[in-house]
Amino acid sequence: MLPPADRAKPASVVVLLHGGGQSMHKMVARHGAAMARWPVVARLGNTLLLIPNGTDPQTGSGAGERQHWNDLRENDIVDGTDADDVGFILDMLDWAGTEFRTDADHVFVTGASNGGMMVFRLLIEAPSRFAAGAAFIAALPDGPPLAVPAHPVPLMIANATDDPLIPWAGGTIGRARGKVMSALGTRNWWVAANRATTFGHEFELLPDLDPDDGCRISVDFFPAGAGGAPVLFSTMIGSGHAAPTRQQDARNGPVLRTLLGPTCHDAEAVDLAWDFFMRYGRGATR
């Protein structure tokens, strides 16, 4: 947890969710290079940064360093957990509201991989608690039909075409870690669920800040339809299982970099998420 810089003023809240096999401690350390800027951005924005820990599926402990979130994958037999993570995170928000002067209309949630999938679950099951969400390198489960959120929440999604763990085309994650929709299937589900519209659809190719990284980022923006919320979908062309960052890729050794694929250096995940929250979050004006 990182408290807001000015406790006398109402603070926004960002819930930052780690990936599978990670922990809250690693999110803003060298292991989580793409998310390491969150403390800086949070202080500048007078934001309470909450970084909870998931559950170790082998021991049931919430205090370990190889934690997982109970996202919506019913067929994850390797890392699955039946922990009530939705209830846990909502209780954490209730606690934060009693300990700090928080703005309930400016609560945001973001995460990558398993953490990004947990973002999806929270926006489906508890949409009234969040002003916007941002999910990186994550996809919806491919299984029984998903419940449509009671009301739409602005959502940013960023997926990579060369991701070896969350396949762009969908399918099985690793060995027996569940099946997911394709990246475009995930996008289309959220566009429909959020009552976003293809009319007024905007496309942008972000500047190629690092011509040597083999990656480009394209952005598709689907504005809110009547009673809906927008969806922003970023495609990291040529990138692997990593959120975009220009920070030194120190979180991985060469073996993991080989397993996870390249990192896109054309943007900062934290800046992309924060900009989206400020532009399109509930109550924001563009």
Residue-wise pLDDT tens digits, 181-206 = 999 999 999 999 999 999 989 999 99
Whether residue 77 contacts residue 113, with contact meaning beta carbons closer than 8 Å, is answered with: no
pLDDT tens for each residue of 143-164? 889 999 999 999 999 999 999 9
Residues pairing with 48 in the sheet: 13
Q: What is the pTM of this model?
A: 0.93
Residue 77: partners with Cβ closer than 8 Å, 6 or more residues away: 176, 177
Architecture of the CATH domain 11-280:
3-Layer(aba) Sandwich (3.40)
**How is the chain split into domains, by residue range?**
11-280
